[in-house]
Amino acid sequence: MPITVVSLVASVFFQYLATNSRDDGFSLWMQFGPFGSRRDELESRLAQLATQEDEKDSVAIYDYLIQFRGASPHQTYLYLLQGLHDTYAELVSPKTLVELAPRFADCDIAVKFSCAGLRYGEFQLPPLGVSADYLAPVPDMGFTYQYYPVVKGQRLVASAEAEDPEDNASRYLGISLPREWQSTGIPRSHLGVDPNWLRTSRKRFQHEPDYTREYHQKANLVRLYLDNLTGQGSIQFWDRASRTYRPIEDEMTFTT
């Protein structure tokens, strides 16, 4: 089953950071942190990133690495936790996950999310909460690309869940959209959109310039919101001054 169902087009808005094997937060800490093999290259790496300030990924990496300058051991380990607990999400096709769990065959949308912290230490990831907006295109609005939020912030229940068998840091979530959404939309008659509705609803219209093609295709949009996660776990660092192990946090927020 494709990600788009009937006229639904799924768009997911997540905080984005480079996620390849060299530039995720944990890998950066391993390279440029206090025990990193490239810690002596920190300044040159920062200088290189400073020349790439127009690139979103470079800015995010720079903002993470700049924290290492003059950081105390406690602060440095907190930055490690930050790298471990950043959670990344992307849309995937449900049909590619049927072998992991047959219930994905009945899902309209599937999300893959990854958190490096699940690979290290004693961390547990709680169930992921999801809510969604359902937006319909307002006809005949020229090039203003106006959408109307037919449904706003509705909570959705996962229809399928699975772990990645090859990567214990990755999880998959399958979502089935409410079938009644297919019968909701903008009030119309044989004369077109109800003029009274246009007049009273105009203040709720949303300008969506990133979805011009979908607008001209008269496609509806589904916007997903993933809850922030609070994960339970523990980690300690060696305090040279007191010569004791000190706990950092026993509860961390996974920012998605």
Name which of 250, 231, 247 is nearest 87 in CA terms: 231
Quick check: is 136 in a domain?
yes
Residues 64 and 144 in one domain: no
Are the C-beta atoms of residues 233 and 252 closer than 8 Å to each other?
Answer: yes
pLDDT at position 108, please? 93
The DSSP bridge partners found for residue 133 are: 223
pLDDT at position 39, please? 81
| Structure confidence at residue 11 as a pLDDT band (50, 70, 90) | very low
Residues 229 and 102 in one domain: yes
Quick check: 62 pLDDT over 80?
Answer: yes
pLDDT at position 162, please? 92
Q: How many domains does the chain have?
A: 2
Q: What are the tens digits of pLDDT across the range 154-176?
A: 999 889 999 899 888 888 999 99
pLDDT at position 185, please? 81
pLDDT at position 64, please? 80
Residues 239 and 204 in one domain: yes
3-state secondary structure of 131: strand
Q: What are the tens digits of pLDDT across the range 86-140?
A: 677 888 999 999 999 999 999 999 999 887 767 665 555 666 778 999 999 998 8
Cα dihedral angle (48, 54, 59, 60), rounded to 10 degrees?
-130
pLDDT at position 126, please? 64
| Structure confidence at residue 54 as a pLDDT band (50, 70, 90) | confident
Quick check: is 119 in a domain?
yes
| Structure confidence at residue 12 as a pLDDT band (50, 70, 90) | very low
The CB density around residue 50, as the number of other CB atoms within 10 Å, is: 12
Name which of 135, 138, 89, 137 is nearest 109 in CA terms: 89
Q: Where are the alpha helices (DSSP H) in 55-106?
A: 56-65, 73-85
Residues 103 and 215 in one domain: yes
Q: Which residue has the higher pLDDT, 1 or 176?
A: 176
Average pLDDT, the chain: 76
pLDDT at position 9, please? 35
Q: What are the tens digits of pLDDT across the range 115-124?
A: 776 766 555 5
Q: Which residue has the higher pLDDT, 67 or 164?
A: 164
In angstroms, the CA 225 to CA 175 distance is 12
Residues 134 and 224 in one domain: yes
| Amino acid type, 230 | T
Domain that holds residue 46: 18-74
Q: Token match 């706990």: residue?
A: 247
pTM of the model: 0.61
Residue % of the chain over a pLDDT of 90? 24
Quick check: is 81 in a domain?
no
* DSSP for 184-236, written as a single string: ----EETTEE-HHHHHHHGGG-EE-GGGHHHHHTT-EEEEEEEPPEEEE---E
Residues 99 and 194 in one domain: yes
Q: What is the DSSP letter of 129?
A: P
Name which of 146, 131, 123, 129 is nearest 216 in CA terms: 146
pLDDT at position 28, please? 79
